[in-house]
Amino acid sequence: MKELINYLADPIRSFPITCVLYFLMMKYYKVVGTKKFAWIAGTLFFITAGMFAMDPNFWLIITWPDNIPISILILSVGFLTWFTLYKCAENDKRIEAGECPIEALPENREKVWAWPNLVYTELFAIIAGTAFLIAWGILFDAPLEEPANPTWAPNPAKAPWYFLGLQEMLVYFDPWMAGVVLPGLILVGLIAIPYIDTNPKGNGYYTFTERKMAVSMFMFGWLVLWLYLIIVGTFLRGPNWTFYGPFEFWDFHKVVAEYNVNLSEFFWVFGLKQALPGNLIIRELPGIILTILYMGIPVALTFNSLNAIFQSIGESKNKFLNITMIAPAFKCLAGIPAFIEKTGYIRYYIYVYLAVIMAMLPVKMVLRWLFSLKYIIALPEWELNL
């Protein structure tokens, strides 16, 4: 069993699993968003966690002072996600029944005094938070390390826990992509949300049906692409940034067979059976073309002729297409002209490009796992790799 879990925990497998779980959660959010589900899931979670903790290697990982925030994070995010879905499910049921959301009930629209309703409760939060931090500080010593030594780097060298998602991205991307461009875009994207998302629905109340797109897009980025990567980086990456299953001993000498190949090498050496061209641009042309094509997708989606095809697939009654969610996805794509009509082209492109760039991460991960692809565009001469 432990071997199986170790096997499944490898990002190659656990990432798709997480994606599927995420998808199921969003699809059946009305089931997830019930108290009954919370009780069952919570009980199962604690039982499993208890069983996991019996393993000495797992126990070592979760009790390492560095990792305690992650354990807290898992618990709190788990609860808050469920809570959101619970509220959404409640409201959506009401909305479907033609009622207003709970938050819009007259008794909930009544205004209240800032004191004591706000200020007093804030004080509670401050006291409770301080007490919690002090207790934490007494119980666990700061995880200090040995004096820094330039010739003796700690192994694994880990960033602070909140950056471990970024560090995990470094596995798949060039440092300037994973370290500068992508984090920068995350910030820009977060700043841009209020300007892109002009949908007034959901203001002041929980709902999913009224803003499916926005909620699932954000939650995917937050839960799957950010938190999942932090958890992997914290719990499952050991010495040499090698993957270790949750029950695996962090053997310093573990070696993993990994040899990554650039797209240009695939194309020229294996595809055309010829030496790499000396001209850098020609050498990387396949990757550049692919990237341009990828970046062209948002533009292509606006073409009317394509839209008709999307429409036909989207309305297909084929069982397979429906179960695999291909038909609904195309239905979604078919809605793009309507979307543009609502938002305008500028918002559309900003939004879609943010989404496309976000999608680069899972795309690149999958390519790496499937083909050991190193870089799509490899221009180390210009320090420009993608």
Partner 1 sequence: MSKKLEPGMAYDMKKLNKVFAFLSILFLAVTFWVFLDDFVRPWKAVQIQGLKVKQAKIDKDLAIEAKKIDDKKIAEFDAKIEEGEKLHASRSEVIEKLNEDLNKLDLLMKAETIKNGQLNSNVSATNFNWELAHSHHSKNEPDLFKLLKKYKKEFAESKDRMKGLTTQIKTAKKDLLATKSELTKALREKAEFIGARKLLLQARKTTEIDPIFVIRNAPMGDFLDPTLKVRQVVLNDITDDRYFQHVPKVDRCMTCHLNIDKKGYEDVAQPYATHSKLDLMVGAKSPHPMKQTGCTSCHGGEGHRVLDFNAPAHTPQNAEQKKEWVEKYHYHPPHKVPQVQFKVGYVEASCIKCHKGVERIPGGTVVNEGIRNLEKFGCYGCHKIEGWEHKRKPGPSLEKIASKVSKEFFKNWVWSPKAFNKHSNMPSFFSQANNSKPEHMKKNITEVNAIADFVFSKSEGYRPFSKFSPGNKARGKKLIEQVGCMGCHGVEGFEQDSKKINAFAGPYLTGTGSKIKSADWLVSWLKKPTHFQEDTIMPSMRLTDREANDIATYLLSLKNKKFEDLKFEPLDDKVRDDLLVEYFSAFDTLEVARAKLAKMDDVARTHELGKRSVGKYGCFSCHNIDGFEGRAPIGPELSGVGSKPLTQFGFGHEYDVEHSRGGWIKAHLQAPRRWDNGIDKPFKDLLRMPNFNMTEKQADSITVALLGMVTDYIPLRGVKSLDHHEKVYAEGMKVANKFNCVGCHKVKNGQWDETGGDLLKKEEYADDLNMGPPWLVDQGHRVQADWFHNFLKNVTPIRPWIQVRMPSFNLSNEEINALVMGFQAGAKQQTFVDNHAKIEWTPGEKNEAKRLFDALACASCHTTGFNKDEAQAPNLYLAKRRLRPSWIKKWIMNPQSILPHTSMSNFFEDGEPSEEDYFDGSVEKQVEALTKYVLEIGDIELPKAK
Q: Does 252 bind partner 1 (CB under 8 A)?
A: yes
Using CB under 8 A, which of 1, 4, 54, 144 touches partner 1? Answer: 144
Residue 120 in contact with partner 1, rule: CB under 8 A = yes
Instruction: Examine residue 320 and tell whether it contacts partner 1 (CB under 8 A).
Output: no
Q: How far is the CB of 127 from partner 1 (least distance, A)?
A: 5
**Nearest distance from residue 128's CB to partner 1, in Å?**
6
Structure tokens at 82: 């469920």
The answer to whether 6 and 245 are in contact (CB under 8 A) is: yes
Residue 148 contacts partner 1 per CB under 8 A? yes
Stretch that binds partner 1, among 4-12, 147-155, 158-166, 177-185 (CB under 8 A): 147-155
Nearer residue to partner 1 within complex by CB, 111 or 317: 111
Residue type, 64: W
**Cβ-Cβ contacts under 8 Å for 236 (sequence gap 6 or more):** 9, 11, 243, 244, 245, 246
Nearer to partner 1, 1 or 138 (CB): 138
Report how far apart, in Å, the C-alpha atoms of 372 and of each of 86, 343, 364 are: 41, 40, 10
CB-nearer residue toward partner 1: 105 or 309 = 105
> What single DSSP character describes residue 197?
-
134 binds partner 1 (CB under 8 A): yes
| Residue given tokens 């179960």 in the structure block | 323
Out of 1, 54, 112, 257, the residue judged to bind partner 1 by CB under 8 A: 112
End-to-end CA distance of the chain: give it in Å, rounded. 38
Least Å from the CB of residue 105 to partner 1: 9
Q: Is 107 in the site for partner 1 (CB under 8 A)?
A: yes
Nearest to 264 by CA among 253, 254, 274, 250: 274
Binds partner 1 (CB under 8 A): choice among 35, 98, 124, 257: 124
DSSP letters, 236-282, are IB-GGG-B--TTS---TT-------B-HHHIIIIIIS-SPPPSSHHH
Asked if 131 is part of the footprint of partner 1 (rule: CB under 8 A), the reply reads yes
| Range in contact with partner 1 (rule: CB under 8 A) among 119-127, 198-206, 269-277, 287-295 | 119-127
CA distance 159 to 168: 10
Interacting span for partner 1 (CB under 8 A) from 149-157, 205-213, 217-225, 270-278: 149-157
Nearer to partner 1, 130 or 322 (CB): 130
Q: What values do phi and psi take at 270, rounded to 5? A: -90, -35
Choice between 105 and 295, CB closer to partner 1: 105
Q: Which one among 44, 53, 123, 289 touches partner 1, defined by CB under 8 A?
A: 123
Asked if residue 255 binds partner 1 (CB under 8 A), the reply is no
Give the burial class of 111: count Cβ atoms within 10 A of its Cβ; 0-12 exposed, 13-18 middle, 19 or more buried. Answer: exposed
Name the amino acid, one letter, at 261: V
Which of 381, 176, 375 has its CA nearest to residue 280? 381
Task: Determine if 372 is a binding residue for partner 1 (CB under 8 A).
Answer: no
Give the nearer residue to partner 1 in terms of CB position, either 44 or 128.
128
- How far is Cα of residue 120 from the mean position of the Cα atoms in its chain? 36
111 binds partner 1 (CB under 8 A): yes
H helices of 10-118, in order, are 11-27, 29-32, 35-53, 56-63, 68-96, 106-109
If residue 55 lies in a helix (H) or strand (E), which one and from where to where?
none
Specify the stretch interacting with partner 1 by CB under 8 A; choose among 28-36, 45-53, 112-120, 263-271.
112-120
385 token code pair? 């790799």
Q: Does 149 bind partner 1 (CB under 8 A)?
A: yes
Q: Please tell me the distance from the alpha carbon of residue 176 to that of residue 17, in angstroms, as a whole number.
A: 29
Total residues contacting partner 1 (rule CB under 8 A)?
28
CB of 249 to partner 1, least distance (A): 12
Binding site for partner 1 (CB under 8 A): 107, 110-113, 116-117, 120-121, 123-124, 127-128, 130-131, 134-135, 138, 141, 144-149, 152, 155, 252
